Each structure stands twice: as structure tokens, then as C-alpha cells.
Amino acid sequence: MSLDTSGNRTMRISFATALVAFVLLVQPLGAIELSQDFDSGSLNVAASTVVGNTVNLVGRRTWTDPTYRYRYRWVYFKASDVAGLQPQFTISAGSFLGDLSDHRYLYSYNQTEWSYFDNCYVSGGTYYFRNHQPFTGNDVYVAYSLPYPVSRTQAHVAAVTQSPFVSPTISGAGGYVVGHTAGGVDNIDVPERIIAPQDIYGFKISDPAGPAEKSKVLLSSGVHSCETPGNHALEGMIDFLLSDAPQAVCLRRMAEFYVYPQVNPDGRLAGYYRSTPENPSKDYNRFWNNPAGFTDMTAARNAMILDTGGDVDYLLDFHSMFGAWSRAPYFETIPSDANSPFVLALAELEPGIYCSKTYGTAGMLRIWGQSASGLKAEHSYTPEFGCHPGVLEDRLDQMGASYAKALFRALWSESTFVAGDATADGLVDAADAAVLADCWGFEDADWSMGDFDGDGRIGPSDASILAANWGNTFESLATAVPEPATPALVGTLPLIWLLRRRRLLLARNLA
């Protein structure tokens, strides 16, 4: 009696083939490899899977507050071996702490130039995103919004501190490090790793020229570790303040800017949402009035008080939002400050940025900054930015610059500078005539361009005002009210004409 086993053998071969195919199809990290172990990266790699052409992502639950410990927000990872592939990415929309209904993720091959994914939508509680064309690079970085790693803060501080208008603060003791973080252990949805202590930076922007007493403005960002667009906007404001723009020249002479560009570097480096490895369950913007147990917040807070003398005129703490993608940028302030000169000026410059009137809570940097035990800020604001349609780094930089321009208008409205002093150096002289010549004929102009009569245009009336005040200083106006100087008018108008003529000839030769 013989036993025919060919059928069983065939079945075993078929089963083995199917098993291999299944293993190849469903695997933790298949051909596409995922990683998040880099500056500000964040993804639960171990729980993420590759199923065929679909990459199922799982976000890290880095805020361990009991109310939010099952939710995620910040996502930033690298996908390797993707050249020529067109994968479909998915991630839970239901456990996202925010709104993904009309959001679009971004990707980059170099972590510098970012683009939006083509096709993004929510269906059945899941968020899907992919491109219409295959990836062209082997490695691609994917993020919820524009990253701003700790390394970028370090590089930007190194660059701006080369400016003659940037100097250390008192707490920096001759340098630009005003404190240090505690570092800590990060083991939330990732293999345990050590986050090394980081430097907290601070510096002052100002021009020694101008009045002896200047307004004080405090600028900060990075309080909530994943709110990266706020850092981009603050960078744009800083770059504008150090530029040659007429408003920037005046601002440096009118005010001292105390800048703390990244106050929670541990949380940013570890890819957290609102907390830090030292205090993973606590919202970093709820304890500024009592920072016990926060090494970094205590250091930043002490530096702010020491550097400013505990008394500032303006405080701007740059944040970001995670609401609907189509939501407009806004800023928060207390209701009584909603019609200040700064708010009105910003509304003219950026009509799309709206004012949200809210009292906040005592532990917020904005509210503590206004308190008598804090910085006694007369005006305090929390600008909120996001990745909106058409908004990438250039637009965030532009909005940051608009905040600076609005501040210029507000400070100028509160000041008693000399008529004709476009440069705000306290003296009406050839430098002001040069500004007037450069901007001759401009419309939609302001004082820093030579619009002394307030009509928005640069012309003969402004030149007359400059001439009438030629040679005046802060000190001379404090002791006397000068009569219009006819000789000055006769001598100044030809100077303006000559300066303007020289610039026109130079522009023609360079063309």
C-alpha cells in the first residue's frame, strides 16, 4: 500500500509561499525604514508599520498629563529607502490633539527646503497623506509643520551675535548663554535615551545712539516645545531688527530688545509637545509665576528679571497653534490692551492677523510678565502662528517683520522725537536728509522714511519740516522752542537734491 503525499506537499509549499508573502507584506519597518532619533524628531517607530505601500504611523504621547496621555501632537521623522516609491502615509486623526481635517503635512530632502504633500484628507478617523509623484531622494523628512530644531537656534544666535547692534545681557556675564537646562531621561514611546543639558541663550539688540532712556521690549519663543512656527516668526523679527530698513534703524535707537529665542530647548530636542523630560506631565506655560522644579524655566525667568531690571514696556512671547489648517494667525492679549497703538498698527499692516482678547492664567509667561512680581510689562502679547495655506518660512519671516514694524509705529506714537529726525538719533542733520533723499516720492511711507507731515508721501513739505528743524537735538528742544530757520531751509533743500541726484546717478551706473 502506497501513500500519495504529493497533494499534501503542494499544500505545504503553497502555505509556505503565502506565509512568506504575508511576512514581506506586513512587517514593522519593511523596506522603508523609519527613524526619529535626531534633533526634535518625534514618532513611535516601534508601533509604526509598513503594509505594502502603506506606512501606518503612530504618534508619541509625550505630554503625560492624565487628561492628554493618550493623545499625540508633534510628528517629525525620517523615512529611508523611498526613492522611486509613492507611499501612502496614515496616522490616527482621533487621537491627535487638535484638528487634522484640512491639514497638510510637509516633506523635505534636506531639512531646509520644505513642501506640502499633494493629497491629504481625513476619512473614518484616519488621516491620509501622499504625493502624486514618487519621491526622488532616498531619504525624506516628514513633519506636521515647519521644524525649528535646537541646532537652528544655536546657528542663528552665532550669526546674529556678529552684529555690532547685538550685545550680551547682564545674566550672560559677557557671553550669550544665560542659563542651562537640566536635561533628563526620555523614554516615552521610544527606547530610553539621555537628553543632555542644553544652553539657554539671551542677547540684547540696541543702538547706543538715541535717547539715554529707551523703551524695553522682551522677545521670547519656544515655550511650548513643538510650536515651531513661532520660532520662525521670531527669527524673522530679529533679522528685520538687525537690517538696514529705516524702521529697524529707528527701533534700535528707540528701544532695547531682550531676546530669549528658545527657552525650552530640552523639550524641543526630545520632540515633546508642551512639556520637558524633566517634567513630562506639566504644561511649560503654566508655571512662570512659580517655577519650582523647573531648572530651565527658573534660569530663563531669573535671567529676564536681571537683564531687564524687572520692568519692560512690551513683552511678545511667540507661540504656534494646532487648530484647523485654514485658521488665521492671531495674538492674545488682555481685553484692556486690545486697542493699543501696537494692536491698531498691526491691524493696518496685517489685516489677516486678528486679536483674541483673553485674561489667560497666572502661570503663563504673558500674564506673569505683566504682574508686579514679574516684569511689570505695560503691554504683553502672545502671537500665534501655524502652517496655513501658502504659509512657509518666507511668510512667517514676513509676519515677524510686521510685528516689528507695528512696534515701531507704536513706540513712535508714544515718543517725543525731534521733528525731522528720521534716524531717531536725536539730531536733525545730513543723515536725515539722506534718508529723505533715498525715499523721495515714496508713498505709503512713515516717519522713518521721512514722512514728517503724516500724509504718507515723501515730498517738499517733509523737506521743509526737516530744514526748519536743522541742527535741533533732544537737548535743545528740552530748553527752547526754536523758530523756523530760513538759512537752514535754503541750505538743506539743495543738500537733499544733491544727495538724491547722486543716488540716481549711482543707480544708473549700476544698471
- Taking only the tens place, the pLDDT of each residue in 457-469 is 888 888 888 887 8
- For residue 10, being part of any structural domain is answered with no
Dist. CA 481–CA 472, nearest whole Å: 10
177 shares its domain with 251: yes
- For residue 5, being part of any structural domain is answered with no
Which of 70-79, 174-183, 328-337, 426-435 bottoms out in mean pLDDT, i.e. has the lowest? 426-435
CATH assignment of the domain containing 194: 3.40.630.10
Say if residue 228's pLDDT is above 50.
yes
> Which stretches within 43-186 are classed as H helix?
150-160
Dist. CA 298–CA 316, nearest whole Å: 19
Structure confidence at residue 425 as a pLDDT band (50, 70, 90): low
- For residue 360, being part of any structural domain is answered with yes
Most confidently modeled range among 130-134, 246-250, 410-414: 130-134
Residue with cell 512657509: 392
pLDDT for the residue 123: 96
Most confidently modeled range among 168-177, 314-323, 454-463, 482-491: 168-177
174 shares its domain with 294: yes
Encode 216-276 in three state secondary structure: EEEEEECCCCCCHHHHHHHHHHHHHHCCCCHHHHHHHHHEEEEEECCCCHHHHHHCCCCCC
178 shares its domain with 207: yes
- State the residue range of the domain holding 272: 150-413
First to last CA, the chain: 103
Residues 350-365 have a mean pLDDT of: 95
Structural domains of the chain, count? 3
Average pLDDT, the chain: 86
Structure confidence at residue 415 as a pLDDT band (50, 70, 90): low
392 shares its domain with 468: no
pLDDT for the residue 326: 64
Query: How many C-beta neighbours within 10 Å does residue 136 have?
Result: 10
Residues 333-359 have a mean pLDDT of: 95
Say if residue 350's pLDDT is above 90.
yes
Say if residue 212's pLDDT is above 90.
no
Question: Cell numbers of 131, please?
Answer: 504625493
pLDDT for the residue 416: 57
- In sequence order, the β-bridge partners of residue 259 are 203, 219
Annotate 141-156 with b (16+ C-beta within 10 A) or e (fewer).
bbbbbbbbbbebbbeb
Say if residue 14's pLDDT is above 80.
no
225 shares its domain with 295: yes
Dist. CA 218–CA 234, nearest whole Å: 12
Dist. CA 434–CA 423, nearest whole Å: 10
pLDDT for the residue 454: 67
Residue 440 is inside which H or E element, if any?
A: none
Query: How many C-beta neighbours within 10 Å does residue 189 have?
Result: 19
DSSP annotation of 357: E
252 shares its domain with 391: yes
Residue 318 is inside which H or E element, if any?
A: strand 314-320
Nearest to 55, CA basis, from 138, 131, 145, 129: 129
CB-CB contact of 258 with 216 (8 Å) = yes
- In sequence order, the β-bridge partners of residue 204 are 167, 258
pLDDT for the residue 12: 46
Structure confidence at residue 478 as a pLDDT band (50, 70, 90): very low
Say if residue 16's pLDDT is above 80.
no
Percent of the chain predicted with pLDDT > 90 = 66
pLDDT for the residue 461: 81
CATH assignment of the domain containing 69: 2.60.40.3120
139 shares its domain with 180: no
CB-CB contact of 264 with 225 (8 Å) = yes
123 shares its domain with 49: yes
Say if residue 5's pLDDT is above 60.
no
Structure confidence at residue 24 as a pLDDT band (50, 70, 90): very low
**DSSP conformation letters of 110-124:** SSSS-EE-SEEEEET
pLDDT for the residue 243: 97
Structure confidence at residue 417 as a pLDDT band (50, 70, 90): low
Nearest to 462, CA basis, from 419, 408, 413: 419
Contacting residues for 500 by C-beta, under 8 A, at least 6 apart: 437, 438, 440
SS3 150: helix
pLDDT for the residue 325: 64
DSSP annotation of 170: G
pLDDT for the residue 8: 47
pLDDT for the residue 64: 82
350 shares its domain with 251: yes
- For residue 9, being part of any structural domain is answered with no
Which of 116-130, 217-231, 294-308, 448-462 bottoms out in mean pLDDT, i.e. has the lowest? 448-462
436 shares its domain with 385: no
Residue with cell 525604514: 33
Phi, psi of 494 (to 5 degrees): -60, -35
Nearest to 391, CA basis, from 383, 399, 382: 399
Estimate to the nearest angstrom the gap between the alpha carbon of 406 and the chain centroid.
Answer: 17
Q: What is the pLDDT of residues 184-196, one digit of tens each?
A: 999 999 999 999 9
Query: How many C-beta neighbours within 10 Å does residue 9 have?
Result: 10
328 shares its domain with 357: yes
Say if residue 217's pLDDT is above 70.
yes
- For residue 272, being part of any structural domain is answered with yes
388 shares its domain with 263: yes
